[in-house]
Amino acid sequence: MNRRATLGMSFAELVMTRIGHGVAALCLLFILPILPFIAVAAAVSAVVRPSPETPEPTYRPDWAE
């Protein structure tokens, strides 16, 4: 059975699809093991980060006094 005739894709399209699958597999291979560490670092950063201080307004109109 001719896969190109069945899928309706040219040889170049099949090659590009295989390359895309390979790139996706490499991204998953390298990124997925790092994601838990990034999540923990973000959680720790959110807990440790000091709360922002709200400054008093510097301008008060005359009628507010």
> What confidence tens digit (pLDDT) does each residue in 24-46 have?
999 899 888 999 999 999 999 88
**Total domains in the fold of the chain:** 1
Confidence of residue 48 (pLDDT cuts 50, 70, 90): confident
Instruction: Give yes or no for residue 1 having a pLDDT over 80.
Output: no
Is residue 16 assigned to a domain?
yes
Which pLDDT score, from 0 to 100, does residue 6 have?
A: 61
Kindly write down the DSSP assignment for every residue of 50-62, as one continuous string. Answer: PPPP-PPPS---G
* Domain boundaries, position 22: 1-40
24 burial via Cβ count (<10 Å: 0-12, 13-18, 19+): exposed
Exposed e or buried b per residue across 33-58, where buried means at least 16 C-beta atoms within 10 angstroms of its C-beta: eeeeeeeeeeeeeeeeeeeeeeeeee
CA–CA dist 65, 54 (Å, integer): 21
Is residue 53 assigned to a domain?
no
Write down the pTM of the prediction.
0.46
Percent of the chain with pLDDT over 70: 75
